[in-house]
Amino acid sequence: MTAVTIVFALMFYVVTALLLGGLAWKIAGYARTPAPLRIPTTPAPPHARGVVLRMAREVVLFESLFKSSKWIWGLGWLFHVALALVLLRHLRYFTEPVWAAVALVQPFGLYASFAMVAALAGLWARRIFVERIRYISTPSDHLMLVLLIAIGATGLAMKYVAHTDIVAAKAFMLGLLYFDWQPLPADPVLLVHLALVAALMATFPASKLLHAPGIFFSPTRNQADDSRERRHLSSWAAELER
């Protein structure tokens, strides 16, 4: 077992714990946070069924972003769909035998890699060149975009420039899952790709990328507009009425 294998194996266990533990912690915090006022962005559906549909349109189509900016919607939606395809393509490294759907998605995942990096580059250019957006951009806004671009670029570099032993890379990943460690190829581009992914996993629960679970807890989106049908009474106000 090489030192590189041991360092990367331990690193992946640590960052997986950070990612899962951090997400659980944050989501528990969101779930506990009171939302005492009805503040759905109107027009909003009056029933729970409508809220589920509205949330689905928001999550799948980015509806409100579409209404506010076609450019950002185009780039943002393209990035997210491409990322989903890229991750589906990567499932081949974590499954044996590879599922039929994952085999089917392989070429689309590859086209999506280019779309993903291009969309990220567009989103980053917006933060650099649009003065109004540059003014409100924080270092972490830039950092997350650069991190994702670097992950995509090193992935594409492996595919087209500096090939790695993907069979051995897969054996390493499966070995981590089954606690039966296998050697990791020490190709620099693969090591950088994996180290960047680990950095993304570790920082995810403390980053703006928390909008992924956070959207489901957003009161302006997850509430029904039923304040005329139902009276909302806080517990202390109910006490006063007695």
Binding site for ligand HEM (CB under 6 A): 86, 89-90, 93, 109-110, 113, 116, 151-152, 155-156, 158-159, 163-164, 166, 169, 173, 190, 193-194, 197, 200
| Residue whose tokens read 């009474």 | 233
Residue 183 neighbours by CB under 8 Å, 6+ apart: 1, 2, 5, 168, 171, 172
Do residues 66 and 80 make contact, with C-beta atoms less than 8 angstroms apart? no
Q: Could you tell me the smallest distance in angstroms from the CB atom of residue 87 to ligand HEM?
A: 6
Q: Could you tell me the smallest distance in angstroms from the CB atom of residue 139 to ligand HEM?
A: 20
Q: Could you tell me the smallest distance in angstroms from the CB atom of residue 86 to ligand HEM?
A: 5
By beta carbon distance, the residue nearest ligand HEM is 155
Is the Cβ of residue 51 or residue 190 nearer to ligand HEM in the bound state?
190
AA identity, residue 90: H
Q: Could you tell me the smallest distance in angstroms from the CB atom of residue 29 to ligand HEM?
A: 24
Angle, alpha carbons 208-141-23 (nearest 5°): 20
Q: Which run of H or of E encompasses 10?
A: helix 3-32
AA identity, residue 197: V
Is the Cβ of residue 98 or residue 110 nearer to ligand HEM in the bound state?
110
Is the Cβ of residue 51 or residue 200 nearer to ligand HEM in the bound state?
200
Coil/strand/helix, residue 226: coil
d(CA 91, CA 170): 10
Q: Could you tell me the smallest distance in angstroms from the CB atom of residue 196 to ligand HEM?
A: 8
Strands, E assignment, 25-98: none
Is the Cβ of residue 59 or residue 91 nearer to ligand HEM in the bound state?
91
Is the Cβ of residue 118 or residue 156 nearer to ligand HEM in the bound state?
156
